[in-house]
Amino acid sequence: MTPPTLRSLRRCFEGAVPATIATCAADGMPNVAKLSHVHFVDDEHVALSYQFFNKTRENILLNHLATVEVVDPVSAAHYCLQVEYLRTETAGPLFAYMKARLAAIASHSGMSKVFRLLGSDIYRVLEVVAVSGNVDADTPPRANLLSGLRACQAVLAGCADLARLLDTLLEGLERHWDICHSMLLMADPDGKRLYTVASRGYAESGVGSEVYMGEGIVGVAAGERTPIRIGYAVQEYRYSHATRERFAASVDGYALETEIPFPGLAEAGSQLAVPLLLGGRLLGVLLVESAEEQRFTFEDEDALVVLSGQLVMCIDYLSRSADLPLEPAAPASSSPPTAASQGAPVLIRHFPADHSVFVDNDYLIKGVAGAIIWKLLREHMVAGRSEFTNRELRLDTTLGLPDITDNLDARLILLQRRLAERCSFIAIEKTGRGRFRLNVSRPLQLSVAAPH
Residue range 306-322: mean pLDDT, rounded: 88
pLDDT for position 209 = 92
Residue 125: is its pLDDT beyond 90?
Answer: yes
Confidence band, pLDDT 50/70/90 cuts, at residue 451: low
**Total residues found in the chain within this entry:** 452
The mean pLDDT value of the chain amounts to 83
At residue 303 the predicted structure's pLDDT band, cuts being 50, 70 and 90, is: very high
Q: Report the alpha-carbon distance of residue 82 to residue 349 in Å, rounded.
A: 67
The CATH number given to whatever domain includes residue 44 is: 2.30.110.10
Q: Are residues 106 and 225 in the same domain?
A: no
Q: Among 87-96, 229-238, 241-250, 325-334, where is mean pLDDT lowest?
A: 241-250
> Do 246 and 162 share a domain, yes or no?
yes
Mean pLDDT across the stretch 61-74? Answer: 91
130, 159, 176: which is the final residue of a domain?
130
Reported pTM: 0.80
Q: Do 222 and 250 belong to one domain? A: yes
- Residue 25 in this model has a pLDDT that exceeds 50: yes
- Whether residue 178 is found in the same domain as residue 305: yes
Question: In this structure, is residue 13 part of a structural domain?
Answer: yes
- Residue 240, pLDDT above cutoff 70: no
Domain harbouring 371, CATH code: 1.10.10
**The predicted structure's pLDDT at residue 242:** 34
Domain enclosing residue 305, as ranges: 143-321
pLDDT digits (tens, 9 = 90+) for 150-184: 999 999 988 988 999 999 999 999 999 999 999 99
Q: According to the model, what pLDDT value does residue 246 have?
A: 33
* 40 inside domain: yes
Write the single-letter amino acid at 122: I
Quick one: 157 and 283 in the same domain?
yes
How high is the pLDDT of residue 102? Answer: 74
Mean pLDDT of 319-342: 57
Q: What is the pLDDT of residue 235?
A: 58
Asked if residue 217 lies in contact with residue 235, where contact means CB atoms within 8 angstroms, the answer is no
User: What's the pLDDT at 279?
Assistant: 86
- 274-305 burial string, b = 16+ CB within 10 Å, else e? bbbbeeeebbbbbbbbbeeebbbbeebbebbb
Whether the pLDDT of residue 329 is over 70: the answer is: no
Residue 123 sits at φ, ψ, to 5 deg, of -125, 145
pLDDT at position 334: 45
